[in-house]
A and B are shown apart, each in its own frame.
Chain A
Amino acid sequence: MKNRIRLYTLIPSLFFITLMASCSSFFDVEPYNSVVEDNFYKSQKDLNASALGMYAPLTRDVHKFLLWGDARADMVTTGQTEPMPYINEFVINNVSIENPFADYNNIYETIARCNRQMEKVYDVTNKDDKLLPKSANAYYAEAVLLRAICYYYLVRTFENFPIIRSDYAEEVSYIDEKGNTINRKTSEITSTELRGLLKFPKDKQEVWRMIYNDVLSVLGMLPLNFMWNNETLPSEERYGRVSQPTAATFAAEIAIWLGEYQTASAFCNSPIVNNQHSLGTAGAWPNQFTASFAAQHSMFLLGFRFDNSFETNRLQEFTSNLAQEGGKYFLKPSSHVINTIFFHESSDVRTNFSYKVFDQDTIIWKYIGLDNVSSRRPAYKSNASWQIFRSADAWLLKAIADLHLNDYASAFNFINMIRESRGLVKYLPTDIDYTNKELMLEIIFTERAREFAFEGKRWYDLMLWSQLIGKNILAEKVASKYNGENRNSVYQKLLDQKSWYLPVSNN
């Protein structure tokens, strides 16, 4: 009898214990190494951290930017005797759909992060009452502008790509055939169906317009003096993040692509008169590459901090000729083209610094060198910044814009300002028929080639140049890189503007 009583008290108590456990927060375990939704986007600091997170995917792609913008163009060729096939595909302008360097995933990752940021910025204003409205705007504008820069890379590089302008991570909203707006969970839509829902632009012009409008709409919202919520940004962040001068320079360039020279010229004034930006001195010019930035010169770049953070890119691997420092020598300057672009008659810092010749190897020096002589970055410490816009952009864009506004003197003047600041002698009006638009464009784009050599801009410059004079300069210039029968076949191929773009793999 006694035992029975014990039994009847014991069983319930046994289950009571377990029940107790289940009632409490027994199953509420949260991850340790990440922040869950409820705990994020609560303050300005969260906004700032996710803003920095937007740039990170692009830093993984800078070697691709070099391939897209330079390996395909006339100033770069392969360094290896038996080149690596996927690199060589760019150099010989025959990029296949399987090429791992021809994917845009990281760009879209940045786009997604920008979209998320835009979605969340104004939620934070409700939670963090210290967040100033103008700061919230600035974060919003930063996301819009960075997204626009992503589309700017896409529109110039890829044949076909969708436009995504809102946060699709959790929900996709679209308008169905009947004209109703549908909201659906992303996880419930198959990828094939989703692809069908994505909006593909009908032409490049549409994308250019979209980018242009985005930039114009946020231009006034971005802080002029790198002030976010009354806090000044450290200098590295100033150049590692987009700014109002970036937006103005960027707007100027798009305006030129769109043929709006008047606005382009006006936008260029913003960085030109801004006292944070100037042409700087020739002596400081290499600092943009040897250090992570150079005051006055730098505007917007993708930065890599090595000390304590060990962020690196693959530019050293791609351009160095020394195996012991991790160099694969995938790419090197293409010699005969180099000789027609760089001058050796006077002390042009860009000619001296952009590339070097050691023994038999000509190498791109911008991502390897630590000075203008022969010091190299330590092995595997590839942290040279990737330049997206530099102050010099504004000056040379101004020259293009003014040339098209028939303000020849101004265009001529801006070219000379660049030349002089880099250690070259000025052109004299008597040397050059500066009212000859075609000649002046050649001079400007050659100047750009010197200024921005190996910074992933040449291919796009050749595109723009071709567009501006209505002649396929690109095919002509690029074909001149090759010898023998290749020259003609590449020329023929590039005559078709469709072949200017990379194919997109659909997986």
Chain B
Amino acid sequence: MFTKKYIISICFAILMANSSIYAQNIAAKPATVDSLHRLDIAPSTISIVGKLYEKPNISVSESGNLGASPVLMIRGLNSINLSSSPLIYIDGIPMRYSGANPTFLSTFEPDRLGFLNPNDINNIQVLSSGFEMPKIGGRGSNGILEIHTERGEFGGTKVDFISNYGLISSNLNVPRLDAQSMKAYLWSRFQEEGMSPAQLDQHPIFSESNPKYNFQNDWLNMIKRDGVFQDYHLKLKGGDGDANYLFAVGYTNKEGLIKETNFERIGLRFNLDYQLAPNISIYNNLSYTNTSGHYKEFGSDYNTHPIYIASAKAPFLGTNFVNADGSQSRILASVDTLGLSNPLALVNNLSNKNQFNRIDGVMGVNWKIRGAWDLKSDLSISYFNLSEKQFRPALGIVPDLYRIRQNSQRSSSEFYLNWNGILSNSGKLSENLKYNTSIQAAIETYEEKSVFGRKINAGTDDFETLQQGVVDSASNTRYRSNLMSYIAEGILHWNERISLNASLNVQGSSNFGSNSRWNIYPGAKVYFYILEEKPLNKWSINLGYNRNGNHEVRGFYHFNQYYPENYFGYGGVYFGNIANPSLRPEITDNYDIQSIITPFGNRLQLNLGYYFKHTTNLITHKTILNELGLQDRFENAGSITNQGLELGLTSQIIAKENIAWNLSTSVSTLKNKVTSLPNGAIEQSIGNITGIAKEGEQLGSYYGYRVLGVFQNESEVNLKKSDGTVYYPGDYVIEDINNDGIINSLDKQIIGTGLPKFFGYFSTTFQYKNFGLNLLFNFSQGADIYNSFKQQMHLMKDFANQDPSVLNRWRSDDETGNGLSRAVLDDPSNNGASSSLWVEDGSYLKLKQSSLHYNIKGKPSQFFKNIMIYLSADNLITWTKYSGFDPEVNGLNISLLRNIDFGAPPLGKTFKLGLKTSF
């Protein structure tokens, strides 16, 4: 393995060995290392997010919860109540990274980028601030992912066929009691709950002859599997003088580590560039994708969480109903006497499906009008439909309140219509002063609709549709938003020494009232080419400022609004929103400074930057006196800062014909702080875990109790519950912050923080003749994880199977155990409250991707041009102290609820064999 020391010494070696390295011309944009020798294979992640692991300044976190949206973060978190994920542009079509509808399952947010086949992608740019895309204006405060798909190239038709086949595996082990020790545990638990020895003796669970209670089942083993990954992609590319085209069709199928979870995608894309006249070219994109996914509850609803239930299910119980004669019936066992579902029913019968259909179309024109005048205009249309479905039968699954069976369906769609016109010009003002300038107008209209229906308690488990049962819930929503932007941009170059870029975006949004609809988003950046002029520059510095916003406010809070609320079955209405006509977008000011050193041309580039982001006007609930009896009202109040250093290094250490070696690394630090919240701290919860935004603290810190130990005996108990009754020996000792001897909500404190202190990647590519080796490491340091799954395995509030350490719980003054509380049914002392016990350090270093490839060049006589065979392994090794499945935790894309581990399956090791053939 590469040690830190080793890496540093290599860097030095490169810096010193200048004699052998010659300068080359570099482009104006920061150069990236020549990708000639890079193997750009699609990752085994289904979406292009897998490619972001190797991008600087973006933090990515994905779990094995197949089809769930990975959590992304560019330059910190800037919002509490609005989106904190970057905005995506795919060939100019904007897309929100996270959906607006509430999640169908507790934490499962469908990956909205899943429709994009990584093989179709030409490049992805991570734009840290809206400066690089002035048009973004009020949506850019969380950064941008700009994605371009591949296009045709001049030359004869080239056919690329890619096929990948892989296996995904993980040991996915949860420490838990075996059949015998669980019986012993239950025996002692029943005793503690007051069962007499006679009752215990009679209890059928402990009978050695009762066939119902004498199985030896490894439930976890029954629901897990090794997944298969398949990916096939066919690409036709070509063009002549007038028309270039790309036609691609792809199919991807990935199976999850838990049975009956998978993701499937089929898509096609047709991109055309056409030269209409010498000075007019048009381009068209058309793509259609269909994806479907089967997924499970891997979130906070532990009652249907297959991994949890399989871990918590008593191993001595059987999978199927046991007949009177002791034989196993063909019918699955129903909910057991201990109150748990049948894991097999959860996996095989409870189904969650979703299906995306997306069509994108772009038509654009580039017109070189005259001289340096250019006109570009494009019109794009995008339609996105997501249908989600859950079928929850009765057999073997605990009812959800009064819902014994349920069928739910939701269909939601999004429609974008987007027009852009940009007129640009460039020229010289004087001999030393060149300029580029443009004006732009953009109009966008967006509509989102959703229909939801749920029927419950159909007659049998056979109806997987909404045909039978009682309507439990039905709703529909619609949201429309119109956006208009006028943008002016200009660049002045002075002697290839100084460039000044400036832009101004005036943007109006229908999300706000007429007083505050129009907002101005300026930006400016100045580049100083200090050592050598721009083309041969060795050291440059740039200073930038820009303003962006966050305007995804959907409640139309500038109107007085009346909402429906039922009373006694009749439709009531109440006055729920008092208009706030002055509500504005959240505003983020971004300041950055960056130094770029390229001493040896594109052989080495060292970037060092610092950014400071200040977000103000946070949209928060205004504190209203309870006595006014009003619902919350939103207002602009509060601010957050994010700052960090961004360090990047890319180098070509060896670049010879037969041998090449590249290195690339990036480290970003992050310091996030809520600087003001005039309306007080904001809490959000999922399960029993609370994230808080509090002045002076990091956004999304975990808020709970600090556990100091366990009361060993009655004489040690010095704390009271809120009602003034004393705790019991065996309860957790909670830090009494206000020293009043009583533990209540006032004793909650920050027990951990979910954001990394620094994160980044390190990658290296080595090539010798036809062999190539790629390694990619990712790291994240300083983020805590709230391990909810582990807490669940130590809760002891029911008769579920638990972690073996519960055998060492506090049991009496003589058996005080090893730090776990006493066990009591329903946990009356609230020992299961969210506490510091379950906060762990989530730092990790991961060998994210490693691959070995071999290239065969086709001879002119052969039918192929090139064949590349490769073997790759994803997530091969993880170095971490974290005790859960994987320190890469995929929470929700909600800034207050990040890095909470509900026991979603890990990404798993993926071994892949691939073939890329070019004809």
Contacts and interface: CB of A to CB of B under 8 A. Distances in A.
Given A34-B562, A96-B744, A86 B722 contact: yes
Contact of A108 (B572, B627, B633, B728): B627
A237 B441 contact: no
B630 A169 contact: yes
Interface stretch (B139-147, B473-481, B897-905): B473-481
Contacts of A407: none
Contact of B723 (A6, A54, A96): A96
B373 interface: yes
A29 B508 CA distance: 13
Contacts of A96: 722-723, 742, 744
B565 A53 contact: yes
B561 A36 contact: yes
Contact of A168 (B401, B628, B745): B628
Contact of A49 (B477, B561, B571, B630): B571
A195 B556 CA distance: 28
A294 interface: no
Given A85-B723, A111-B629, A50 B574 contact: yes
Interface in B549-575: 555-556, 559-575
A357 B3 CA distance: 72
Nearest to B474: A308
A442 to B, nearest CB: 31
Contacts of A309: 566, 569
B561 A34 contact: yes
A481 to B, nearest CB: 15
A28 B558 CA distance: 11
Interface stretch (B55-63, B585-593, B618-626, B756-764): B618-626
B746 A82 contact: no
Contacts of B443: 18, 21
A379 interface: yes
Interface stretch (A99-107, A263-271, A395-403, A469-477): A99-107
Contacts of A49: 571-573
B490 interface: no
A26 B510 contact: yes
Contacts of A132: none
B625 A50 contact: no
Contacts of A174: none
Interface stretch (B12-20, B22-30, B117-125, B576-584): B576-584
A40 B624 CA distance: 24
B568 A237 contact: yes
Interface stretch (A121-129, A186-194, A213-221, A335-343): A186-194
Contact of B569 (A33, A311, A378): A311
Given A7-B369, A305-B568, A37 B722 contact: no
Contact of A92 (B570, B572, B723, B728): B723
Contacts of B428: none
A105 B626 contact: yes
Contacts of A29: 480-482, 510, 556
Nearest to A21: B443
Contacts of A311: 566-569
B578 A170 contact: yes
Contacts of A278: none
A198 B625 CA distance: 10
Contacts of A304: 568
A308 B569 CA distance: 8
A308 B568 contact: no
B482 A53 contact: no
B90 to A, nearest CB: 24
A253 B681 CA distance: 44
Contacts of A206: none
Contact of A99 (B401, B564, B624, B722): B722
B441 A305 contact: no
Contacts of B556: 29-31, 34, 36
B723 A18 contact: no
Nearest to A329: B826
Interface stretch (A9-17, A137-145, A175-183, A344-352): A9-17
Nearest to A33: B477
Nearest to B441: A18
Contacts of A32: 477-480
B6 interface: no
Given A104-B626, A113-B575, A27 B567 contact: no
Contact of A112 (B563, B623, B629): B629
Given A89-B723, A326-B401, A52 B517 contact: no
Range, interface on chain B: 35 or more
A108 B370 contact: no
B375 interface: yes
Nearest to B573: A49
A194 B508 CA distance: 34
Contacts of A59: 567
Contacts of B624: 191
Range, interface on chain A: 35 or more
Contacts of A14: 377, 421, 423, 441
Contact of A18 (B373, B484, B622, B830): B484
Contacts of A109: 629-630
A37 B561 CA distance: 6
B555 to A, nearest CB: 7
A438 interface: no
B721 interface: yes
Contacts of A35: 561-562, 573
A53 B628 contact: no
Given A186-B578, A310-B473, A326-B401, A88 B572 contact: no
Contacts of B399: 379
A49 B568 CA distance: 12
Nearest to B623: A191
A234 to B, nearest CB: 8
Contacts of A168: 628
A191 B441 contact: no
Contacts of B2: none
Interface string A129-169: 00000000000000000000000000000000110100011
Contacts of B473: 310
Contacts of A85: 721-723, 725, 830
A281 interface: no
A110 interface: yes
A458 to B, nearest CB: 20
A53 B567 contact: yes
A53 B573 contact: yes
B503 to A, nearest CB: 18
Nearest to B742: A96
Nearest to A117: B575
Contacts of B568: 52, 55, 236-237, 240, 292, 302-305, 311
A425 interface: no
B517 A27 contact: yes
B580 to A, nearest CB: 7
Given A53-B567, A88-B723, A104-B626, 15 more contacts: A3-B369, A14-B377, A35-B573, A50-B575, A53-B572, A53-B574, A96-B742, A98-B745, A109-B629, A110-B629, A116-B575, A164-B627, A187-B635, A240-B568, A307-B569
30 contacts: A10-B375, A18-B486, A22-B508, A27-B484, A31-B559, A34-B576, A36-B562, A37-B561, A37-B562, A40-B562, A49-B571, A53-B565, A53-B572, A82-B829, A85-B723, A85-B725, A96-B723, A96-B742, A108-B626, A110-B629, A161-B627, A169-B628, A194-B625, A237-B568, A240-B567, A302-B568, A303-B568, A305-B568, A308-B471, A308-B569
Interface of A: 3-4, 6-7, 10-11, 14-15, 18, 21-22, 26-37, 40, 46, 49-57, 59, 80-86, 88-89, 92, 94, 96, 98-99, 103-105, 107-113, 116, 161-162, 164, 168-170, 186-187, 191, 194-195, 198, 236-237, 240, 292, 302-305, 307-311, 323, 326, 328, 378-381, 507
> 9 tightest A-B contacts by CB?
A305-B569, A112-B629, A52-B572, A53-B572, A82-B828, A37-B560, A108-B629, A303-B568, A380-B401
